[in-house]
Copies of this chain bind each other. A is one copy, B any other.
Amino acid sequence: MTGTGSGTDNDRFSMSTAPHRSVSHSQSLCRVALVGFGTVGQSVARILTAHPPPGVQLTHIFNRRVARKKADWIPADVQWTEDIEDVFAAPVEIVIELVGGLEPAGTWARRTLTSGRSFVTANKQLIAHHGSELQTLAARHGGELRFEGSVAGGIPILSALRDGLVADRIWRVSGILNGTCNFILTSMEDHGASFADALAQAQALGYAEADPTDDVEGLDARAKLAILCGTALRADVGPPRIAARSIRVVEAVDFLHARRLGCTIRQIAQAEWDAAEDGVLHAAVRPALVATDSPLARVAGSQNIVLLRGHYGGETIFSGSGAGGGPTSVAVVSDVAAIARQRAAAPVADARLTEVVPALASPNAARVPRSITGEFVTPHYLRFIVRDRPGIIAAIAGAMERHAINIDAVLQLPADSKDELPFVVTVERCPSAVLSSAVADIGRLDFHVQPPVDLPILGGPPA
């Protein structure tokens, strides 16, 4: 775009602020222990040593078998250890956890917070399952819990919700939260690849793991959606209560049909409070058709996007890198910087105050929804693969009529064989449960070569 190059030269960012090592006011110094020195951990250490936030000092790095991890660019006064007790025994104010998984990360989080220290993590499973409990621990003991890196990597969505959008009442959050699925689906879209080939390519390029279950089945996106339910919708929702559906049902032929409908296919995570019934939350992660001119369709490769709908502010959209060392480490170190700023402003937490005004301790206090359903009312796409014979459309139309579902269109692409004929029916807006019953009835008919596949069509006009 310009002739000014790639922007990797750090010198132009040199600021007049003194480097942190010269900070002499001990009360304002925030010592940080980094637990986990993998890809993200190393990126975090790079920022903490090259451009530390004011008053922040990296003092400890923990990793298993730490000898093989030691890096010469880490300052000599940082202590390396493979014994977590060294971290807890040290006078550190913030523990950054980048190991992942529920344990031992959960135990470390509880020990850190119970001792009044602050805990920063990018661990989506830990926060999705135990965030609420950990937040309470933090508030009780005067520490902070922050986890910007756990959702949508480099997109500062949680801080936007807690700060710049905190005055709004967000009633819907949706988005693409899993870069692996998005990479697979965009490569099926771009190259007409089968699911298996696209997955193999993603694995070869390092975008998918050897066991892709968590990504492909929607479990990863579900954990992130649970965290967004808490922060955006103030709904306390455990990940198992969110419906998740695999993207494995999507075939290359679905992209051809989707294109004829002006759509493509993405894994969409979506949650919203019911407008009519108080305390009812709709939440699901599943493949869906989205209009090609919608922001969701334009998210390429491993990028992420989050769309918020607020009562006052309307729609706000955030997109950026969903993962990777650089973007995630920005989120993690920004959390550290926020805690350091807060500690500098209020060195001693005033527990008395948070008792009197509980909302101050936890302004995003979430409530448990009365009911959580994976049901959304949308138009739907149904793809059949059949042995062709007269009467198939009539049989399908009859089943739809019995469930009071209106057919919108029937689409057929040229096919090689009458023995394995794909065709598509689109239906007007109906609740997904009603559609499922109809599809189950239709699935019992005798002309199917494969079970029918139904996908919601998102992004149409509001109800």
Closest-CB distance, A171 to chain B (whole angstroms):
4
Out of B5, B23, B282, B329, which one reaches A275, CB within 8 Å? B5
CB distance A25 to B356 under 8 Å?
yes
Does A338 interact with chain B (Cβ within 8 Å)? Answer: yes
Question: Given the complex of chains A and B, what is the CA–CA distance between A7 and B271 in angstroms?
Answer: 13
CB distance A356 to B24 under 8 Å?
yes
How would residues 315 to 354 of chain A score, 1 for a CB under 8 Å from any chain B CB and 0 otherwise?
1111111001011011111101110011011110110010
Does A51 interact with chain B (Cβ within 8 Å)? Answer: yes
Residue of B whose beta carbon sits closest to that of A1:
B458
Q: Flag the segment in A242-250, A305-313, A405-413 that touches B.
A: A305-313
Does A116 interact with chain B (Cβ within 8 Å)? Answer: no
Chain B CB within 10 A, most for which of A159, A168, A365, A462 = A168
Known A47-B312, A234-B15: A318·B321 in contact at CB below 8 Å = no
CB distance A312 to B326 under 8 Å?
yes
Does A215 interact with chain B (Cβ within 8 Å)? Answer: no
Closest-CB distance, A209 to chain B (whole angstroms):
22
List CB contacts (< 8 Å) of A376-395 with chain B. Answer: 376-378
Residue of B whose beta carbon sits closest to that of A22:
B357
Out of B282, B332, B347, which one reaches A4, CB within 8 Å? B282
Does A75 interact with chain B (Cβ within 8 Å)? Answer: no
CB distance A279 to B12 under 8 Å?
yes
How would residues 264 to 307 of chain A score, 1 for a CB under 8 Å from any chain B CB and 0 otherwise?
00000000111110110010000000000101001000000000
Does A363 interact with chain B (Cβ within 8 Å)? Answer: yes
Does A16 interact with chain B (Cβ within 8 Å)? Answer: yes
CB distance B169 to A4 under 8 Å?
no
CB distance B167 to A159 under 8 Å?
no
Does A10 interact with chain B (Cβ within 8 Å)? Answer: yes
Question: Given the complex of chains A and B, what is the CA–CA distance between A298 and B298 in angstroms?
Answer: 10
Chain B CB within 10 A, most for which of A167, A318, A353 = A167
CB distance B154 to A313 under 8 Å?
yes
Does A416 interact with chain B (Cβ within 8 Å)? Answer: no
Does A367 interact with chain B (Cβ within 8 Å)? Answer: yes
Does A112 interact with chain B (Cβ within 8 Å)? Answer: no
Assembly stoichiometry (copies):
2
Closest-CB distance, A370 to chain B (whole angstroms):
10
Question: Given the complex of chains A and B, what is the CA–CA distance between A293 and B275 in angstroms?
Answer: 35
Question: Given the complex of chains A and B, what is the CA–CA distance between A173 and B312 in angstroms?
Answer: 27
List CB contacts (< 8 Å) of A139-157 with chain B. Answer: 148, 154-157
Chain B CB within 10 A, most for which of A148, A163, A321, A329 = A163
CB distance B2 to A378 under 8 Å?
yes
Known A3-B377, A9-B276, A377-B2: A43·B312 in contact at CB below 8 Å = yes
Closest-CB distance, A345 to chain B (whole angstroms):
4
Question: Given the complex of chains A and B, what is the CA–CA distance between A7 and B282 in angstroms?
Answer: 13
CB distance B313 to A12 under 8 Å?
no
Question: Given the complex of chains A and B, what is the CA–CA distance between A257 and B10 in angstroms?
Answer: 40
CB distance A2 to B282 under 8 Å?
yes
CB distance B167 to A337 under 8 Å?
yes
Out of B11, B14, B160, B278, which one reaches A12, CB within 8 Å? B278
CB distance B27 to A353 under 8 Å?
yes
CB distance A28 to B353 under 8 Å?
yes
Instruction: Report B-chain residues with C-beta under 8 Å of the C-beta of A164.
Output: 148, 156-160, 331, 334
Out of B27, B46, B51, B165, which one reaches A330, CB within 8 Å? B165
Q: A159-B159, A165-B334 are in contact. List 12 more A-B contacts (CB 8 A).
A: A1-B378, A6-B463, A8-B275, A9-B276, A15-B359, A24-B356, A163-B163, A313-B326, A317-B319, A344-B357, A345-B346, A345-B360
The chain A residues found within 8 Å of chain B, CB to CB, are 1-18, 23-25, 27-28, 43, 46-47, 51, 53-55, 148, 154-160, 162-169, 171-172, 234, 272-276, 278-279, 282, 293, 295, 298, 309-321, 324, 326-327, 329-334, 336-338, 341-342, 344-347, 349-350, 353, 356-360, 363, 365, 367, 376-378, 429, 431, 458-460, 462-463
The 5 closest A-B pairs by CB, nearest first: A156-B164, A3-B377, A159-B164, A167-B333, A5-B275
Identify 11 residue pairs between A and B in the complex whose beta-carbon atoms are under 8 Å apart, listed by A's number: A2-B376, A2-B377, A3-B429, A16-B367, A28-B360, A54-B357, A156-B316, A159-B164, A298-B298, A312-B326, A347-B350
